[in-house]
Structure 1
Amino acid sequence: MKWIVKHKARLLRWSRDLLIGASIIYAITLWQGRHLLDDDGTVVVDNVHLATLNNDVQPLFVSDKRTLVYFFAPWCAICELSIGNLDHLSDPELRVVRVALDYQSQNEVEDFVNRSNVKGVVLLGSNQLKQKFKVPGYPTYYLLNEQQQVVGHSFGYSSAMGLKLKNYLNK
């Protein structure tokens, strides 16, 4: 108790600084996401089937799971830093989908996947898909519920802890 009284001014400054920092980060996040699809559940996205790097075809969504769609470009340095954070989402009710956009060739995507040690399936997207999801840059994340309604979105780097928190808050 004496320590708290002795350091009260310092604790108040730290609390104030943390609150200001969190407010700034929140404001930046809102500003970055201003052009993304609305995430209030009013936007429903039609399912599409996309090619994988193994030349299979998979649906973007499955009906019984929430889906986190991670859009990336193989030339994006931030994507290379953040794509591994998706591996830390261990929710059995969540499907994580990685979708490559703005690539020149499948080899370019494969090089990125190997360089970044991507563990999950990678789907090959198109400019039409990019426009459909209003992807302004990379990485862009969308969280969709089981009815394919957009219930969350983010743009830019997200840490593993940030992804877990967003997933938890949007359950």
Structure 2
Amino acid sequence: MSKIVPKELSNSDVNSKKVGWTERLKRFVKEFTFFALVFTGITIWQTWDMLSTDGSVQIDNISLPSLAGEVATLTENDKPTLVYFFAPWCGVCKMSIDNLQGLNTDKIHVVTVALDYDNTQEVAEFIGEQELQVPVLLGNKEVKRQFQVKGYPSYYVLDKNRNVVSKSYGYSTAIGMKLRAWVNG
């Protein structure tokens, strides 16, 4: 049986390994920075036409019919509200709406608003496929216009005074929704 004897590394071998590691780190940082800039640019472009989040836009506490047939207000007076706008035909909505489940409803009021639906049965079937424990309100063209909803899903976070403080468009993970709620709650 032969012994494996480790090869002695010269200083140039050690230095080349350090240089290789350093170069890989630099490349990673460059690629990560590029990705972050592209992601930020796309996010800004997607939300460009949405309501301003500088606190200057205050939403009236509108009342809408719920899927259950009751009339409910969009916000609650004592806590911030996350408003999730969806359409029952929206595939991205189907993938992301369950991510609302992880939010702490003791700290933030969560409400979903259906838009661009043909009838309430269509909304009920969509919601029936999900395991939602949050109110489902039936929106209309006026609500869509007031919130400047251009696509689905769209999200807004309103502070306790109903000022728009955060917005987003498209898929959001459960962590992303929790982060919005935490930062703005």
**Mapping for residues 21-170 of structure 1, pairs under 5 Å:** 21-90=35-104, 92-170=106-184
> In 1, Cα distance between the equivalents of 2:26 and 2:180?
28
Residue 119 of structure 1: how far off its partner (Å): 2.6
> In 2, Cα distance between the equivalents of 1:12 and 1:90?
40
Identity over aligned pairs, percent: 41
| 1:38-97 per-position Cα deviation (integer Å, ceiling 9, x unaligned) | 011000010111111111111101111100000000000010011011112225221111
> In 2, Cα distance between the equivalents of 1:36 and 1:124?
20
Residue 118 of structure 1: how far off its partner (Å): 2.3
Equivalent AA in structure 2 for residue 60 of structure 1: L
Higher Rg: 2
> In 1, Cα distance between the equivalents of 2:171 and 2:60?
26
| 1:77-126 per-position Cα deviation (integer Å, ceiling 9, x unaligned) | 01001101111222522111100001111100010001133232211111
1:19 partnered with 2:33 = yes
> In 2, Cα distance between the equivalents of 1:96 and 1:9?
46
Decide which moves more: 72-81 or 83-92. 83-92
Three-state SS of the structure 1 residue aligned to 2:89 is coil
Three-state SS of the structure 2 residue aligned to 1:151 is strand
Structure 1 residue runs of 5 or longer lacking an equivalent are: none
> In 2, Cα distance between the equivalents of 1:38 and 1:151?
8
> In 1, Cα distance between the equivalents of 2:21 and 2:184?
37
Three-state SS of the structure 2 residue aligned to 1:99 is strand
Equivalent AA in structure 2 for residue 142 of structure 1: Y
> In 2, Cα distance between the equivalents of 1:20 and 1:143?
28
TM-score scaled by length of structure 1: 0.93
4+ long deviations beyond 3 Å: none
Rate the CA distance shift 1:73–1:168 in 2: closer, same or farther, 3 A.
same
Please tell me the root mean square deviation across aligned C-alpha atoms, in Å.
1.6
> In 1, Cα distance between the equivalents of 2:23 and 2:180?
33
TM-score scaled by length of structure 2: 0.86
